[in-house]
Amino acid sequence: MTDRRMALVASPTPQAKAAADALRELYEWHPIDRAELVVALGGDGFLLRTLHSMLDRHRVLPVFGMNLGTVGFLMNEWKPDLLELRLQHAKTITVLPLRMDAVTMDGEQISIPAINEVSLLRETRETAKLEVMVDGRVVLPELVCDGVLVATPAGSTAYNLSAQGPILPLDSSLLALTPISPFRPRRWRGAILPNRTKVTFRVLDSGKRSVSAVADQHEVRDVESVTISIDRTSPLTLLFDPEHALDDRIAAEQFAT
């Protein structure tokens, strides 16, 4: 049995609420501010919101998710029995979030964490034109596209994969830089970068070709520039059943048909 105090959070769906009621009958739970780990019931989106809420409170706890959503890539199987034993034997995966530092056309400076990816997206019918810098050096003077994103290994199987970006193993210490519907340079399909890299995008002709920046589910509109880097001050810990470890699932995803 685990001797760590557990907190329970659930998405507002009927399935997750019913599962939470079942677990409250079986185990002892504590408020999240007095807990040592969190059990989250829902889908991948709810797990991301749970992690973001802890980053906002500056109190980050290990999270064991159980899938009561749709895809559940970041979740374990929903089973109410033997939860304490599962937690005792769970594998830990450390995820380093991104930090998005954006400057808007009005000069406002906004800093937001992202666990999966930061994406820049055109706001109008006009394609976006972006200057791309890596560690202060211009690597693409003009990228003409619908958008571009920077993804962590944990997020490389999400939006990044649908944009035909590479899948990154969790222990690779890499970031994926992936264009979204690139027009120029026509043959550029992105890059794989060390996670110590700082990537900066400057919006060209922002008055006509406005661009928004999205850190996971948080959008900032009308940006002039966006800088993305790893935030090593707030590591996140996900807990997985040994047979459903995230690194194994990421490896298997590369052979999905």
Q: Which of 157 and 61 is assigned the larger pLDDT?
A: 61
Q: Are residues 186 and 246 in the same domain?
A: no
Q: Are residues 118 and 202 in the same domain?
A: yes
Q: Are residues 89 and 41 in the same domain?
A: yes
Number of domains in the chain: 2
The CATH number of residue 243's host domain is 3.40.50.10330
Listed in order, strand segments (DSSP E) in 36-173 are 37-42, 63-67, 91-95, 98-104, 109-114, 117-122, 128-134, 137-151
Query: Which of 22-28's residues contact partners 24+ apart within 8 Å by CB, and which partners?
Result: 22/80, 23/80, 23/83, 26/80, 26/83, 27/83, 27/84
Query: Does a structural domain hold residue 195?
Result: yes
Mean of per-residue pLDDT scores for the chain: 92
Q: Are residues 239 and 186 in the same domain?
A: no
Residues of each annotated binding site for NAD(+)? 44-45, 49, 116-117, 146, 154, 157-162
Q: Are residues 86 and 28 in the same domain?
A: yes
Q: Are residues 137 and 38 in the same domain?
A: no
Residue 158 pLDDT: 87
Q: Are residues 83 and 105 in the same domain?
A: no
Q: Are residues 126 and 202 in the same domain?
A: yes
Domain that holds residue 112: 98-230
Residue 187 pLDDT: 86
pLDDT at 93 over 90: no
Q: Are strands 63-67 and 223-230 parallel, antiparallel or unpaired?
A: unpaired
Query: Does a structural domain hold residue 1?
Result: no
The pLDDT tens digits for 139-162 are: 999 999 999 999 999 889 889 999
Query: Does a structural domain hold residue 21?
Result: yes
Is 81 annotated in the active site?
no
The CATH number of residue 216's host domain is 2.60.200.30
Q: Are residues 157 and 88 in the same domain?
A: no
What does the pLDDT average to over 178-188? 93
The pLDDT tens digits for 203-256 are: 998 889 999 999 998 999 999 999 999 999 989 999 999 887 666 666 677 777
Single out the catalytic residue among 21, 44, 171, 216: 44
Q: Are residues 195 and 152 in the same domain?
A: yes
Q: Are residues 11 and 111 in the same domain?
A: no
